[in-house]
Structure 1
Amino acid sequence: MATIHRAQIRPTKIELLAGWLPDQPWYAAETDTELRAVGAYRFDDPAGEVGIESHLVRAGDGPVLHVPLTYRGAPLPGADAHLIDTMEHSVLGRRWVYDACGDPVYVTALAETILGRRTQAVEYLEVEGQGEPREPTAVVAGTGGDGDAPSDLSADALTATTAETVTVCRTPTVELRVQRVIDPAATPDGARLTGTWAGQSDPALLATARFS
């Protein structure tokens, strides 16, 4: 379950992404191109410590970009290379925002969702201390695995490298390929995460997994 607080956030998520995306090798738009949100989905952190939210955004008339983020209440040791920025949240205080591909909590959540061991988080909007269900703006699902995946998918010894439009996250038990630029026509085989959102009624590829 993901609780969404009514809060002021500075910078906003779109402002944060607008400052970070132009430096990424898979971003092809001009720096001053307007960035707009297309959809988003969340995963749960069983420990309740890390916010996990993946954004689908578009720069101008360009393709949909897939940007998973994690939000933490303190810096993640050894992950400076994946730190995007900090933001001030009027309810939760300062949050350290990471490119989630370098965060082991996200990598484990993604792998387990692809396998069908988890689903995307159910979202609740906090209103006067009560949680009201909120429809997600993107719906994702895993295809399941082939039975050979290990039971423990903790993302120890995580490395994340980007080539062209894919970020590869590797651990001793799984290799995840996170699509940064969405190709609606992509139809790979194997275990994968797909999603739909407004304007994308057919499931689009978001990530694939290969297990050791």
Structure 2
Amino acid sequence: MALVYDTTLVPGKVDLLAAWLPTRPWFRGGPNPRFTRAAGGFRLDDPAGEVGIEFVVVTDASAPGKVVYLTPMTYRGAPMPGADDALIGTAEHGVLGPRWFYDAPHDPVFVEQLARLLGGHAQPQHRDDSDTVDTTVTVLTADFEVPTSGFDTVSVTDTATSTEISFGADRPAIRLHRTITPDASAGIRVQAPWDEGSARGVFVSVV
């Protein structure tokens, strides 16, 4: 169950991302970005209940026409070994205490649950309500074969528009679309709304 607490987080997620996002290769803004939390986004469950998993969507209001970024994050109660380069920042949770926030593609718990989502074996959870499936998220699986291992040895590659998660040359890769635009394309994908539901786009696809 994705348990959502009604409490504080200092600094907040947007504040953590404000310093990290401009360092990413997919960042399109200028020197003075103005990030705000968009309406979209959802969570995934960690069956062990140890790692928070959230698809966070933020908008840069300073960019021409506004740019919408997908920034999946995981958060843990202790540092993830060997993942210093993937650390977004740390924050104090009002109930759970210190949390370490990571760029999710580098977290094996995220990779496994995302693969299970694409394979039809996990459900998207509402970002604000505990134990509630987010019915606005559409997942087309097309018989995606979920790997049974190797989640901690995937290759993660950033491009100017996406992050590619590769399980090896003989298997399809998972693509996280880092900048979101209205898109109704077909294929194996996760599609969700943002901007108060007035737009839908592809968050994740299989290539």
**Which interval holds the TM-score relative to the shorter structure?**
0.7 to 0.9
In 2: Cα distance, 1:47 partner to 1:66 partner: 25
Q: How far did residue 199 of structure 1 move?
A: 4.6
Deviation at 1:185, TM superposition (A): 3.2
In the TM superposition, what are the counterparts of 1:81-100 in structure 2 within 5 Å? Answer: 81-100=85-104
Could you say if the C-alpha distance between residues 195 and 157 of structure 1 is closer, same or farther in structure 2, counting changes exceeding 3 Å?
Answer: same
Give the whole-Å Cα distance in 2 for the aligned partners of 1:123 and 1:37: 12
For the residue of structure 1 that corresponds to 2:190, the secondary structure is: strand
Alignment pair present for 1:177 and 2:175: yes
Deviations 1:36-64 (A, max 9, x none): 11122100001100000111111004221
Structure 1's consecutive aligned runs of 4 or more residues displaced over 4 angstroms after TM superposition are: 122-125, 133-136, 199-202
The structure-2 alpha-carbon separation of the partners of 1:18 and 1:42, relative to structure 1 and needing over 3 Å to count, comes to: same
Counterpart code for 2:123: T
What corresponds to 2:159 in structure 1?
Answer: 163
| Partner AA of 1:205 in structure 2 | V
Looking at structure 2, the residues matched to 7 and 167 of structure 1 have their Cα atoms a distance apart, in angstroms, of: 31
1:57 aligns with 2:53: no
Sort the Cα spacing of 1:197 and 1:139 in 2 relative to 1 into closer, same or farther, 3 A: farther
CA distance in 1, matches of 2:132, 2:128: 5
Distance in 1 of aligned mates of 2:68 and 2:13? 16
Aligned to 1:13: 13
Instruction: State how far apart, in whole Å, the 2-side matches of 1:13 and 1:89 are.
Output: 11
Name 1:41's counterpart in structure 2: 42
Equivalent position of 1:29 in the other structure: 29
Distance 2:133 2:23 in 1: 32
Structure 2 residue 108 is matched with structure 1 residue 104: yes
**Structure 2-normalised TM-score?**
0.86
Q: Partner amino acid for 1:170?
A: S
Q: 2:78 aligns with which of 63, 74, 80?
A: 74
Unaligned 5+ runs, structure 2: none
1:72 Cα offset (Å): 0.5
What's the % identity of the aligned pairs? Answer: 36
Change beyond 3 A, Cα 1:77–1:153? same
Equivalents in 1 of 2:172, 2:125: separation in Å? 22
Structure 2 residue identity aligned to 1:43: L
Cα distance in 2 for partners of 1:63, 1:122 equals 23
RMSD (Å), alpha carbons: 2.4
TM-score (norm 1): 0.84
Q: Would the aligned equivalents of 1:123 and 1:135 in 2 still touch at CA under 8 Å?
A: no
CA positional deviation for 1:22: 1.0
CA distance in 2, matches of 1:105, 1:68: 12
Report the Cα offset of residue 165 of structure 1: 0.6
Give the alignment of 1:102-181 within 5 angstroms: 102-122=106-126, 139-146=136-143, 149-150=145-146, 152=148, 155-172=151-168, 174-181=172-179
C-alpha distance in 2, partners of 1:142/1:46?
A: 20
Name 1:128's counterpart in structure 2.
none
> Which amino acid is the alignment partner of residue 197 of structure 1?
W
Which protein has the bigger strand share? 1
* Structure 1 letter corresponding to 2:188: A
Offset of 1:153 from its aligned partner? 5.3
1:90-123 alpha-carbon deviations (Å, 9 max, x no partner)? 2111111000011111111111112211111256
Q: Which amino acid aligns with 2:125?
A: A
Partner Cα separation in structure 1 for residue 125 and residue 132 of structure 2: 11
